[in-house]
Amino acid sequence: MRVRLKGLNKVTRQRGKGVYYYAWRGGPRIDTDAAPGTPEFMQAYNEAVGKSKPPNTGKFSDLIALYKKSTEFTTRGAKTKKDYLR
C-alpha cells in the first residue's frame, strides 16, 4: 500500500549528487538514508513534521483567517464571498 505524504518535497541536487527530501517546501530536511515508503522514512517524516512551529497569533492576518472559518462568512453567498476575499 502506498501512502501519500502531504507536503513532501523532493529536491535533486545538480549533476546527480543526491536527492534530498523535506517535510514541506522550505521546511526541515528529512535526515535519513531510508527510501521513501519504508517505516524508517515515515518515522523521520513524522519527526520533521512534529518540529513545525505553531502559527503566529495576534496578527491581522490571523483575524482574517478566523473570519474565513466562521459561520458568519461560510453562510454568505458565493458572490459575497468572492467580493469579501478580493
- What does the pLDDT look like over 3-36, one tens digit per residue? 777 788 888 887 767 888 888 888 888 887 888 8
Q: Tell me, yes or no, whether 24 lies in a domain.
A: yes
Q: Tell me, yes or no, whether 1 lies in a domain.
A: no
Q: Tell me, yes or no, whether 38 lies in a domain.
A: yes
Indicate the pLDDT class of residue 55, thresholds 50, 70 and 90: low
43 and 60 together in one domain: no
Q: Tell me, yes or no, whether 3 lies in a domain.
A: no
Write out the residue range of the structural domain in which residue 37 sits: 9-50
Q: Which grid cell sits at 15? A: 549533476
Cβ 7 vs Cβ 27: under 8 Å: yes
14 and 42 together in one domain: yes
In sequence order, the 6+-apart residues with CB closer than 8 A to the CB of 48 are: 22, 23, 27, 28, 29, 30
Share above pLDDT 70 across residues of the chain, in percent, rounded to a whole number: 92
13 and 45 together in one domain: yes
Q: For the chain, what is the domain count?
A: 2
User: Comparing C-alpha atoms, which of 43, 12, 18 is closest to residue 30?
Assistant: 43
Q: Tell me, yes or no, whether 18 lies in a domain.
A: yes
Q: Tell me, yes or no, whether 62 lies in a domain.
A: yes
